[in-house]
Every structure is written in C-alpha cells, then in structure tokens.
Amino acid sequence: MKLTKNSENLKILIVEDEALIADHLAEVLASKEYTIVDIVDNADDAFEVLKSKEIDIALLDIHLIGVLNGIDVAIEINEKYKIPFVYLTSNTDPRTIEKVKQTVPFGFIVKPFQEDDLKPTIDIAYFNWKNQSNKRVVNSNEDDHIFIKEKHKLIKVAYKDIVCLEACDNYCKVHTKTERFMLSKTLKSLQEKLPVEMFFKTHRSYIINYNYIESILPKSVLINDKEIPLSETGRRALLEKIESW
C-alpha cells in the first residue's frame, strides 16, 4: 500500500477521557513513529486543537468529559476540517454503532485494543480517506449540476439553483428557487455529491446553499423568509467561514 504521505509522518489527535488509556495509546503510536499532536479529554479542547494545529487523523472516544461527546467532535470535523477520524470505544451496542455510522468514520477500534491492530487501522483509514477525497475533487470540477428523477424523466438542476435540502426520514426534499423535489435518498448520501464550497450543513436535518443566506440568527438561518434550524456547532463553524463587518 502506498500512501501520498508516509504513515510515519501522520499527525494524530487523540480525544480520550481515560488518562491511562490515552497515555498508553500515545506511547504505542509514538513507538510506531506517528506524531502525537495533542491528547484531550473533552470536545471543547478538541475543537481548539483542530482549529489551531495541523492534524492528519483523529482518534475519537465516544464518551468524553462534558456535555458534548465524540460524535459531536466527528460532526464538527465533517462540517469544517475534512480529515479522517477513527472511533476508539468500548461501546459496541447496535444503537451506538448506528449513531456513529451516520458520521461516516474511517475506522472503529474496540477497547481494550490490540496494539498490533492500531497501525493497520490508522494507515488504511488515511489511505481510504485520501483516495475518496481525490475522487471527490475530480467530480466537483467536472460537474455543476445533478439530474433528478421525477416520474418518467430526468430533470437537470444546477447546484446554484438549489436553495436547501431537508431530511424527511429516509427521504429528502430538494428545494430550488422555483420547485421542490422529493427524493428517496438520505440527506447524508446527497451531501456527498454536493460541492463543499457552496453547501453547508446547519443541522442534522438541513443543508443550505451559502448564496441564499439572508441573515444568521442565534439558532437559525433565514433563507427565502424561512428559518432553517442552526445547531450550536453549525453556527460556530458557519461564523468562522463567512466574513462579517
């Protein structure tokens, strides 16, 4: 396997609330020539490290100190930093697995972990993320539209005309300036096809087009006179992306 970047040079953030486990994990990874950028035990500190330091991959425990957990950190990474992450947890019940699947992790290490499993999991996670990212860049440069199936025809819809997308269970509403389409696809699957420079996920149920934002409120975004829910994490990420006077 050949990585664009040597695995030994990968810069790793460890987000783990059990100090003994975190220290042992850092020691093992350092012995395999990875660089440990930082070790934190809560989401707020993780956000600060992600914002201020260069990270190649993050290892996330699910249960952390404080209100926010590892899944919240994963959502922040997906919305803003676009780096791969691997969950490190002892929670393997079906409900937890279903929650973490929604964040599309690149790996899952069960505690207590086997030292020999760490390097292959991290290297494969980074390789898969890099390969996926390269494909996505090519696709976004080639296309400025999608085709939406409606009854017996395919309708060409330009990305710039999509105002927002709204999740409805396993369906998704696509709102354009003049029409509304109901697709039998999840919001997550559609998000993967959208150009990241134009669209932003404000909430687990909404994705908006930056160009249609009229105003940003404490807990919502106003688009076409409609208030779209805005999560606390989403608001923080959105405010950092835009320029305000």
pLDDT tens digits, 22-61? 999 999 999 998 999 999 999 999 999 999 999 999 999 9
Q: How far apart are the C-alpha atoms of 43 and 221, rounded to whole Å?
A: 24
Do residues 11 and 131 share a domain?
yes
Q: Considering 124, 139, 154, which residue would you say is the last residue of a domain?
A: 139
CB 241 within 8 A of CB 221: no
CB 70 within 8 A of CB 64: yes
Do residues 31 and 77 share a domain?
yes
Tell me the CB-side half-sphere exposure of residue 193, using CA atoms within 13 A.
16
Which of 192, 12, 206, 62 lies closest to 238, judged by CA? 206
pLDDT digits (tens, 9 = 90+) for 55-100: 999 999 998 998 889 988 998 898 888 899 999 888 777 777 777 8
Say what angle helices 115-142 and 19-31 make with each other, to 10 degrees: 80
For residue 193, what is the domain's CATH number?
A: 2.40.50.1020
* pLDDT score recorded for residue 245: 56
Report how many domains make up the chain. Answer: 2
Q: How is residue 37 written in tokens?
A: 């950028």
Locate tokens 């697709």: which residue?
A: 183
Q: Considering 110, 139, 168, which residue would you say is the last residue of a domain?
A: 139
Average per-residue pLDDT for the chain: 85
pTM of the model: 0.55
Which of 74, 15, 21 lies closest to 42, judged by CA? 15
**Maximum Cα interatomic distance, the chain, rounded to a whole number of Å:** 60
CB 16 within 8 A of CB 3: no
Domain that includes residue 29, residue range? 7-139
Do residues 15 and 68 share a domain?
yes
pLDDT digits (tens, 9 = 90+) for 147-197: 888 777 788 889 999 999 999 888 899 999 889 999 888 888 888 778 877
Do residues 188 and 100 share a domain?
no
Residue 142: which pLDDT band, with cuts at 50, 70 and 90?
very low
Q: Considering 121, 139, 157, which residue would you say is the last residue of a domain?
A: 139
Which of 132, 45, 137, 158 lies closest to 60, judged by CA? 45
Q: Tell me the one-letter amino acid at 70.
A: G
CB 202 within 8 A of CB 222: no
Do residues 235 and 186 share a domain?
yes
Does residue 158 belong to any structural domain of this protein?
yes
Locate tokens 């996926």: which residue?
A: 132
Do residues 17 and 133 share a domain?
yes
